[in-house]
């Protein structure tokens, strides 16, 4: 049977029709209108679902279920969204109850980073694995964990906020208001800050010319100049990799996954990034001499991971 996976983003609501082989048959995207408030967005989500069904010429009743990836804290059992910073007014709202009123099949919801790890585990880089940790490096750091073949979300389904584990006590201030979170060191936002600080310290670094040509300093600046042999850029990249490997080592110490996946923009650095992380990981993982460490790999499905994962939340 077909399923619908819907990514509820701050800008767009993206629906995908997913088949039994985890293939996305059709996609639909509608502006969220996040400023219109909760009930209005819920209506738009239902409309997106109907549109996606129409695109494959089937009534919604023919779908096995519809799953939603939510950019925030959601209790998957009650379906209450505790907080979704990019969606105005989504604070302690009964999302699943409200959306169920508008849709004729079973609905499920999960945090968007959790949907991504489900997608990658079912159909992507972690296919066949029962224990997986995934970090999505973007504006923030999203985290998802699969344990023994099931999505791990902790008590009330509100846990596994891996990006807000402490990495450096009393360290850099995080967007969440706490200090020293993994996100404050390993997000693309943090990496760009680290890049800019090095550029300020090294006026002759290649990074200046590179950023000028690109029009801005972004996640590529230091990586590309590092590959080109720029010493300041290499220091930025190596320091960042040390931060990230330390965070991953902590996660491996707790979860002992078969594989660690890296998603988000920086994962496009592929082997250049993964090789460094894999080389550093044993140093930052408990008992790595006795137990070894899992491989750190690039997530392969991109944004589709979240769509596929949302569609299959019911089995995880």
**How many residues belong to the chain?**
316
209 vs 287, which CB is nearer to a copy of itself? 287
- Selected from 22, 95, 240, 255, the binder of a copy of itself by CB under 8 A is 255
Tell which one of 286, 295, 298, 302 touches a copy of itself (CB under 8 A): 286
CA distances for 96 relative to 15, 76, 92, 159, 309, angstroms: 16, 9, 12, 19, 17
Mark 43-82 with x for binding to a copy of itself (rule: CB under 8 A) and - for no binding.
Answer: ------------------------------x--------x
Q: How far apart are CA 277 and CA 260, in angstroms?
A: 10
When binding is defined by CB under 8 A, the residue of 65, 247, 308, 310 that contacts a copy of itself is 247
Is residue 109 a contact point for a copy of itself (CB under 8 A)?
A: no
Q: Which stretch binds a copy of itself (CB under 8 A): 55-63, 134-142, 191-199, 253-261?
A: 253-261
The bridge status of strand 132-137 relative to strand 259-264 is parallel
What is the distance between the alpha carbons of residues 243 and 229, in angstroms, rounded to a whole number?
A: 21
| 164 is a contact residue toward a copy of itself (CB under 8 A) | yes
279 counts as binding a copy of itself under rule CB under 8 A: no
Rounded Cα–Cα distance for residues 256 and 283 (Å): 15
DSSP 86-152: TSTT-SSEEHHHHHHHH-SS-EEEEEHHHHHHHHHHHHSTTTT-SSEEEEEESSSEEEEEEETTEE-
For residue 94, the minimal CB distance to a copy of itself (Å) is 15
Binding residues with a copy of itself: total (CB under 8 A): 48
Stretch that binds a copy of itself, among 103-111, 170-178, 195-203, 263-271 (CB under 8 A): 170-178
Torsion of CA 76, 167, 306, 133, to 10 degrees: -90
Positions in the binding site for a copy of itself (CB under 8 A): 73, 82-83, 91-92, 130-131, 147-148, 152, 154-156, 158-162, 164-171, 176, 178, 180-181, 185, 243, 246-247, 249-250, 253-258, 283-284, 286-287, 290-291
């Amino acid at each position: 049977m077909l399923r619908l996976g819907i990514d509820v983003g701050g800008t767009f609501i993206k629906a995908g029709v997913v088949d039994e082989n985890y293939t996305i048959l059709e996609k639909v995207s509608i502006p969220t209108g996040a400023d219109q408030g909760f009930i209005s967005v819920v209506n738009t989500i239902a409309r997106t679902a109907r549109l996606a069904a129409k695109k494959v010429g089937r009534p919604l009743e023919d779908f096995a279920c519809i799953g939603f990836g939510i950019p925030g804290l959601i209790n998957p059992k009650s379906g209450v969204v505790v907080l979704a910073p990019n969606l105005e007014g989504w604070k302690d709202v009964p999302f699943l109850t409200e959306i169920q009123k508008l849709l004729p099949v079973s609905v499920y919801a999960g945090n968007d980073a959790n949907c991504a790890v489900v997608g990658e585990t079912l159909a992507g880089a972690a296919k066949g694995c029962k224990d997986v940790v995934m970090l999505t490096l973007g504006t923030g750091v999203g985290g998802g964990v699969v344990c023994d073949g099931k999505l791990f979300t902790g008590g009330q389904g509100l846990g596994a906020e891996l990006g807000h584990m402490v990495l450096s006590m009393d360290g850099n201030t995080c967007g969440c208001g706490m200090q020293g979170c993994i996100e404050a060191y390993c997000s693309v936002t943090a990496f760009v800050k680290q890049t800019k600080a090095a550029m300020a310290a090294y006026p002759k670094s290649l990074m200046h010319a590179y950023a000028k040509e690109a029009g801005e300093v972004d996640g590529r600046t230091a990586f590309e100049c590092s590959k080109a042999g720029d010493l300041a850029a290499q220091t930025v990249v190596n320091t960042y990799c040390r931060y990230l490997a330390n965070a991953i080592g902590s996660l491996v110490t707790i979860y002992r996954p078969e594989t660690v996946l890296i998603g988000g923009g920086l994962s496009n650095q592929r082997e250049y990034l993964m090789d460094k992380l894999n080389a550093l990981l044993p140093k930052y993982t408990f008992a790595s001499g006795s137990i070894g460490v899992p491989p750190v790999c690039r997530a392969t499905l991109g944004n589709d991971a979240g769509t596929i994962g949302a569609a299959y939340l019911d089995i995880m």
